[in-house]
Chain A
Amino acid sequence: MPAYVPPPPRRLLEPHRIFLIALFGAIVFCAVWFLRWDWLEKYQWKLLHGIWETLFLLFSTAGAGFILAVLLGLVQVTGPKPLAMIARGFCTLIRGTPLLLQLWLLYYGLGSVFAQYPEIRHSMFWPYLRQAWPYGFTALMLSFAAYEGEVMRGAFAGVPRGELEAARAFGMSRFTTFRRIWLPRAIYRALPTLSGETVLQLKSTPLVATITVVDVYAIISRVRQDTYLTYEPLLLLALIYMCLTGILVLLFRMLENRIPSRGA
Chain B
Amino acid sequence: MESTAPAIEVRDLFKRFGALEVLKGVSLTARQGDVIAIIGGSGSGKSTFLRCINMLELPSAGSVTIHGEAIDLKKDGHHGLRPANRKQIERIRSQLAMVFQSFNLWQHMTVLQNVIEVPIHVLGMKRDEAVGIAETLLHRVGLFEKQDAYPAFLSGGQQQRAAIARALAVQPLAMLFDEPTSALDPELVGEVLGVIGDLAREQRTMILVTHEMKFAREVASHVIFLHNGIIEEQGPPDQVFDDPKSERLKKFISSIN
A interface, CB within 8 angstroms of B: 160, 162-163, 165-173, 176, 180-181, 184-185, 188, 259-262
Contact = CB atoms under 8 A, between A and B. Distances in A.
A189 to B, nearest CB: 9
A48 to B, nearest CB: 38
B106 A185 contact: yes
Contacts of A166: 98, 100, 104-106
Interface stretch (B115-123, B133-141, B221-229, B249-257): B115-123
Interface stretch (B36-44, B89-97, B195-203): B89-97
Given A180-B117, A262-B152, A171 B104 contact: no
B214 interface: no
A172 B121 contact: yes
B93 A165 contact: no
Given A168-B56, A171-B93, A162 B104 contact: yes
Contacts of B152: 260-262
A185 B151 CA distance: 13
A231 to B, nearest CB: 48
Nearest to A170: B118
B215 interface: no
Q: Which of A160, A170, A184 has the most CB of B within 10 A?
A: A170
A32 to B, nearest CB: 47
B104 A172 contact: no
Contacts, number: 69
A261 B170 CA distance: 28
Given A172-B121, A260-B150, A162 B108 contact: no
Contacts of A160: 104, 107
A173 B87 CA distance: 8
Contacts of A262: 152-153
A259 B93 CA distance: 29
Interface residues of B, number: 30
B97 A170 contact: yes
A219 B94 CA distance: 60
A173 B56 contact: no
Interface string B61-92: 00000000000000000000000001001111
B210 interface: no
A167 B86 CA distance: 14
B86 to A, nearest CB: 8
A176 B104 contact: no
B130 to A, nearest CB: 13
A170 B104 contact: no
Contacts of B97: 170
A51 B94 CA distance: 52
A148 to B, nearest CB: 19
Given A163-B104, A166-B106, A181-B106, A171 B98 contact: no
Give 10 nearest A-B pairs by CB, closest first: A171-B94, A171-B93, A166-B104, A162-B104, A169-B98, A171-B90, A262-B152, A170-B118, A185-B108, A171-B122
Q: Which of A166, A172, A180, A260 has the most CB of B within 10 A?
A: A166
Contacts of B150: 259-261
Given A165-B104, A170-B97, A185-B108, 5 more contacts: A162-B104, A169-B54, A169-B96, A176-B121, A260-B152
Contact of B100 (A162, A180, A188): A162
Contacts of A180: 117, 121
B102 interface: yes
B170 A170 contact: yes
B56 A163 contact: no
Contact of B93 (A169, A181, A184, A185): A169
A140 to B, nearest CB: 29
A170 B98 contact: yes
Contact of A169 (B56, B102, B103, B121): B56
A261 to B, nearest CB: 6
20 contacts: A162-B100, A162-B103, A163-B104, A165-B100, A169-B54, A169-B56, A169-B98, A170-B97, A170-B118, A171-B91, A171-B94, A173-B90, A176-B121, A176-B122, A180-B117, A180-B121, A188-B108, A260-B150, A260-B153, A261-B152
Q: Which of B54, B117, B170 has the most CB of A within 10 A?
A: B117
Contacts of B104: 160, 162-163, 165-166
Contacts of A181: 106
Contacts of B105: 163, 166
A246 B197 CA distance: 54
Nearest to B176: A169
A204 B145 CA distance: 48
A90 B224 CA distance: 54
A260 B117 CA distance: 19
B49 to A, nearest CB: 15
A156 B241 CA distance: 46
